[in-house]
Structure 1
Amino acid sequence: MNPQIVTFLIKCPDKKGIISALTGFFFKEGFNIISAQQYTNSLEGKFFMRIRLTSDDSVAISKNQLENKFSDLAKSYQITWKVDYGSKKQKVAILVSHTSHNLYDLLYRHREGELNCDVRMVISNHQKLKSVADMFGVPFHYAPVTAETKSEQENELTRLLDSHKIDLIVMARYMQILSAGFIDRYQGKIINIHHSFLPAFQGANPYKRAYERGVKLIGATAHYATKDLDEGPIIEQGVERVTHECTPASLKKIGADIETLVLAKAVNFHLNNQVIVDGNKAIVFPETGE
Structure 2
Amino acid sequence: MTSAGRFAPSPSGELHVGNLRTAILAWLFARSTGRRFLLRVEDLDRARAGSEAGQLRDLQAVGVTWDGGVVRQTARGPLYAEAISRLEAAGLTYECFCTRREIQEAPSAPHAPQGAYPGTCRNLDPAELEFKRSTRPAAIRLRAGAAEYTVRDLLHGEFTGVVDDFVLRRNDGVTAYNLAVVVDDAEQGIDQVVRGDDLLSSTPRQAYLASLLNIPSPEYEHVPLVVNNDGARLAKRDGAVTLQDLADAGTPPAAVRDRLLESLGLPAGPLAKALAAFDPNSLPRKPWVWSGP
TM over 0.5: no
Question: Which has the larger strand fraction?
Answer: 1
Question: Which has the larger helix fraction?
Answer: 2
Higher RCO (CA 8 Å, separation ≥ 6 residues): 2
- TM-score if structure 1 supplies the norm length? 0.32
- TM-score if structure 2 supplies the norm length? 0.32
